[in-house]
Amino acid sequence: MSNASTTNMRLKLPLICLLLQLLLIILFGVFVRYDRDTDPSEWSRRKAQENVTDSDNEFYFRYPSFQDVHVMIFVGFGFLMTFLKKYGYGSVGFNFVLAAFSVQWATLVQGWLHSMGEDGKIHVGIESMINAEFCTGSVLISFGALLGKTSPAQLLIMTIFESALFSINEYVLLSVLEIKDAGGSMTIHTFGAYFGLTIARILYRAQLDKSRQREGSVYHSDLFAMIGAIYLWMFWPSFNSAVTTLGSPQHRTALNTYYSLAACTLATFATSSVVNAEGKLDMVHIQNAALAGGVALGTAAEMMITAYGSMIVGLFAGLISTLGFKFLTPILDSKLKIQDTCGVHNLHGMPGILGGLVGAILASLATKETYGDGLQDVFPLLDTDRSAKVQGGYQALGLAVTLGFALIGGTIVGFVMKLPIWGAPADTQCFTDQPYWELPEDDWDHGELVPVKIEETEKPT
């Protein structure tokens, strides 16, 4: 079979997209209804009977955070992956379609697990929108590990399974084990990273060297990626605090994340310079490792970690993430046969594990003296059903459960994605937009840049 016929999406992609969207419309029609803050009759009843005003609607408390998370998902993640010099369309474009599908599918799966009403319906509002974006963030993290080596059909198949597995893992952690993971160090970052890395191992390409010349960046592609990094950095406090309890927990979460990111950035610059023989900075480190402080504080951000404690976590996150890019990524490729295009192991995997461990330690140390009456806002089971040490143990168990879901689920989904019907690009056609996108003819020729020919003009006499 020729490469052109293998990657031709003229029938596969429209069929998959339209069938999925039609199915989503039917399922939404059957199961989804407005929640009590969105439904006009229910909201009118509440205003009359519960002494609330329109300004008390949850929309006004949660929508600013939703906007920030929304920008992170569609702009931040998309542009962070544009560092590949010939895969800019794929990075932003496939990020766009995966996110658009995932937010719909995640709403359903999360609703079936978390928020089914007595009427058997899923009641949606601003908080369910935020939670759907969290699931989507995990999908896009996995996409980063596979960037440039998979077809859009493969990625949509991955999203179907991953959104469901993410929601199940999230339900086990938050509703069964009843752990705390406000910013998703475990549920979002650890799960997404190791799910994607496992798939990358299953889809290993022994002949990927045939496309290695396209895997790097150029000056302008790194600048585009830095746009995504800055957007993510700016809005990460909103990401971690979006669904925390209103009041001091949400305020504390944003503040702790803010200082962790700041300390992480300085640690990243310092470490990047140290590991370079000439003391120069590596833009890959700056784009990615500077964000690790937000990942590592996701679980503990609402806890009483203090501002300086957040800075310590951020410092260690920046250190291990930068060292990971420098030393671990080549080992994963050469020894473990895991081709991690975006380095998600360094930005999301290791910092996510660090965040889960920090959360377990802080939970085991929680006391009434430290939190006062706010203890129940963060750890509602303490002093009633669990001791602090038991809560810490459950937090650690949640990390182990997440890794289990990611590794086992990623293995199964990887083999499904490996089926030839999805049209994966050939080893010679990775890291380029050419197989799946119409490209400007004046600048591109079969995915390669073409020098512009300058016509000689007759010199004036």
How far apart are the C-alpha atoms of 144 and 157, rounded to whole Å? 15
Residue 4: per-residue pLDDT: 58
| Domain spanning 63-424, CATH class | mainly alpha
Residue 452: per-residue pLDDT: 43
> What ranges do the domains of the chain cover?
63-424
- Which phi-psi region, left, alpha or beta, contains residue 165 (left: φ > 0; alpha: ψ -120 to 50)? alpha
Torsion of CA 214, 219, 220, 222, to 10 degrees: 80
pLDDT tens for each residue of the chain, 461 residues long: 345 557 788 889 999 999 999 999 999 999 999 999 999 999 999 999 998 999 999 999 999 999 999 999 999 999 999 999 999 999 999 999 999 999 999 999 999 998 787 899 999 999 999 999 999 999 999 999 999 999 999 999 999 999 999 999 999 999 999 999 999 999 999 999 999 999 999 999 999 999 988 988 999 999 999 999 999 999 999 999 999 999 999 999 999 999 999 999 999 999 999 999 999 999 999 999 999 999 999 999 999 999 999 999 999 999 999 999 999 999 999 999 999 999 999 999 999 999 999 999 999 999 999 999 999 999 999 978 899 999 999 999 999 999 999 999 999 999 999 999 998 999 999 999 999 999 987 554 444 444 444 444 444 43
Two tokens, residue 248:
């001091």
How far apart are the C-alpha atoms of 261 and 291, rounded to whole Å? 6
How far apart are the C-alpha atoms of 90 and 152, rounded to whole Å? 9
Residue 8: per-residue pLDDT: 80
pTM metric for this prediction: 0.93
Cα separations in angstroms, 221 against 21, 85, 87, 171, 366: 33, 6, 9, 38, 46
